[in-house]
Structure 1
């Protein structure tokens, strides 16, 4: 994983907006409707080329395929692995009960999207024997990268953590939640190792924060931390064969525009994140609910082995951050870490976590990524005292 040795590098979290045609095909395919698979493959490949080119044009240094071939950032595994069926009954955040007017408005905005609360569940032993879809996604991404006039500083691809799979595709088969999580870890290891051969691997693990207010909303913070530690132990087992410096971990409190009154404080989960066998941590810092969280980093310093990928761009609003604001956020992150080389400017979360579900318009997304680059250039001049 590259460091910001000469200037502040930029990246994002993973998912990017899918065009309406691709989104509709992915949603219909997930629903079991008859879909022209060749057309779906063509749309996905064209979309990958498009988002890769847009990232490069915006000046993003560490880019990815935008998760274009996937129906959802974690629910895609139900289409790649066997052992899933039926329908999960995933609970919702207490926000949906406390704020019914907001909940109704949100439902109207998301009336046609991929499965989330009703995703399949584990009904038999989960097995990941066919890596064809993952291999094809890697091929599409590599082809898009090869088509760029200039290669990026680095390229990454995301994969769901065992914990977020287990808390979304619920368990209706294993004797315990822990047994299910470790079973998923053993199977997801295959995808992790495949990705890490060619790209940086990003593990998407919102379960390490978000699930305190969702599946485990009846637990205390201390009880949740114990569960999160178990999730990290399973993840570490899955990552055992991959050098930590080839892996970055994304953690968030849920990528939805809502009150977030029940989010667990970062100070409670930071020690858990530090236990992960990774080289980089991607965490929200830009949205209004978590802009203050640098205080936790100052009290519990980022270990030397980690790079921080702070969110300096909000993934849920169509406001385009002013580059000076972005630069201020980057410099605050550097101050908290104490080392400019170990900070890579990023986004809070994905811009298209599920097909049919995005809060920021595509043309605004590219402008936000440009603002990230411009803000990083300003921060570079401040931190290095030179032109970027």
Structure 2
């Protein structure tokens, strides 16, 4: 995993806006409709080429395929694993339960979208049966972004815990047994990414977001215990992958809402610090969690871990001023105590689910450009010179 030498590097969390044609094809495929495979393949080629070019133009150092080939960051899993059928009955999150008009706004704003709270459930033993799809994803990315296009390449995959909480279990005797099965099977995807030479990013919003979702009725102490269980499943699934070859993303849920019931970072930070990942990606730009650097300031930051702070908010069409970005980066460097172990990023993805993009596509690229400009300003101040282009 790269560390900076003379400037702050930039990356993002993974998903980027999909065009309307690709969105429609992905949603139809997820719904079980017959899709022209050649047409879908050609559209994926076009989409990945486009997001690679736009990441480069925006100044992203560590890039990916924008998750253009998936309908959702974790809901694509039933396409590659057997055992899933029917429909999960996910709890309504506290944000939406207490503010029902948000649900009405959501339905009006995103009338046609990939499955979110109604994804399939585990009705039989889960088995990863199609490594070919992840290999195809990687091969397409490599065609569109040959080695050297970015300073470093990454690919995302969901944590066992976020799959377990959104593709819910009606087969296994316990949540823990379901987690163990998912960790064992998702390892196939993790290893395919690692073996291809890409940095693996595991997306684990379950370690924070699920406090207000599936585990909203647990006490805080009980939720922390659940987080420990979920993190253990991740660490077990990546055994053998060196820490500097994978990073962990944690967030409180990528939606526009009050977030009043979010768990504090300080509560879960001891759990997160037990990860075997070489880098931790956390939200810090949204209004509810911009103060959370205080938790790191109090607890300290591991000397062998990179911080990937969100310095660009991912649900708002505001384009952050580069000076704001630079200030956020400076605060992150201050709590880590090392400018070379901070990589500037976004809070979360911009295309978490097909058809549910909070930020207009053209605005996303302006935000990523502001990320680079802010990182350059911060670099100039941190290194006491004009940063490298």
When normalised by structure 2's length, the TM-score is: 0.98
Partner SS, residue 295 of structure 2:
helix
Structure 1 residue 84 and structure 2 residue 84: aligned? Answer: yes
In 2, Cα distance between equivalents of 1:316 and 1:76: 22
Residue by residue over 1:82-118, the C-alpha shift from the partner in whole angstroms, topping out at 9 and shown as x without a partner, is 1100000011211112112222112211211000111
Alignment length, in residue pairs? 386
Superposition map of 1:30-109 within 5 A? 30-109=30-109
Structure 1 residue 179 and structure 2 residue 177: aligned? Answer: yes
Residue by residue over 1:171-230, the C-alpha shift from the partner in whole angstroms, topping out at 9 and shown as x without a partner, is 010000010011000001111011012200000000000001000000011101101100
In 1, Cα distance between equivalents of 2:180 and 2:71: 24
User: 1:151 aligned to 145, 149, 152, which one?
Assistant: 149
Structure 1 residue 369 and structure 2 residue 368: aligned? Answer: yes
Aligned to 1:18: 18
In 2, Cα distance between equivalents of 1:181 and 1:305: 28
Q: Is the 8 A contact 1:193 1:241 kept in 2?
A: no
Q: CA deviation at 1:144?
A: 1.0
Superposition map of 1:190-339 within 5 A? 190-197=188-195, 198-339=197-338
In 1, Cα distance between equivalents of 2:91 and 2:38: 36
Q: CA deviation at 1:41?
A: 1.4
Residue by residue over 1:45-64, the C-alpha shift from the partner in whole angstroms, topping out at 9 and shown as x without a partner, is 21111101100111100001
Question: Is 50-59 or 32-41 further displaced after alignment?
Answer: 32-41
Q: CA deviation at 1:152?
A: 1.2
In 2, Cα distance between equivalents of 1:107 and 1:338: 44
Residue by residue over 1:258-304, the C-alpha shift from the partner in whole angstroms, topping out at 9 and shown as x without a partner, is 11111000001111111111000000000000000000010111101
Aligned-pair Cα RMSD in Å: 0.9
In 2, Cα distance between equivalents of 1:352 and 1:276: 26
Q: Is the 8 A contact 1:70 1:76 kept in 2?
A: yes
When normalised by structure 1's length, the TM-score is: 0.98
Unaligned runs of 5+ in 2: none
Partner SS, residue 127 of structure 1:
strand
Partner SS, residue 201 of structure 2:
strand
Q: CA deviation at 1:153?
A: 1.0
Partner SS, residue 377 of structure 2:
helix
Q: CA deviation at 1:44?
A: 1.1
In 2, Cα distance between equivalents of 1:45 and 1:208: 33
In 2, Cα distance between equivalents of 1:117 and 1:164: 12
- TM superposition outliers: structure 1 runs of 4+ over 6 Å: none
In 2, Cα distance between equivalents of 1:300 and 1:194: 35
Aligned to 1:139: 139
In 2, Cα distance between equivalents of 1:74 and 1:346: 20
Superposition map of 1:332-351 within 5 A? 332-351=331-350
In 1, Cα distance between equivalents of 2:330 and 2:156: 27
Partner SS, residue 248 of structure 1:
strand
Aligned to 2:168: 170
Partner SS, residue 107 of structure 2:
helix
Partner SS, residue 275 of structure 2:
coil
Q: Is the 8 A contact 1:247 1:278 kept in 2?
A: yes
Unaligned runs of 5+ in 1: none
Q: Is the 8 A contact 1:85 1:123 kept in 2?
A: yes
Residue by residue over 1:338-386, the C-alpha shift from the partner in whole angstroms, topping out at 9 and shown as x without a partner, is 1100000000000000000101111110110000000000000110011
Q: Is the 8 A contact 1:159 1:202 kept in 2?
A: yes
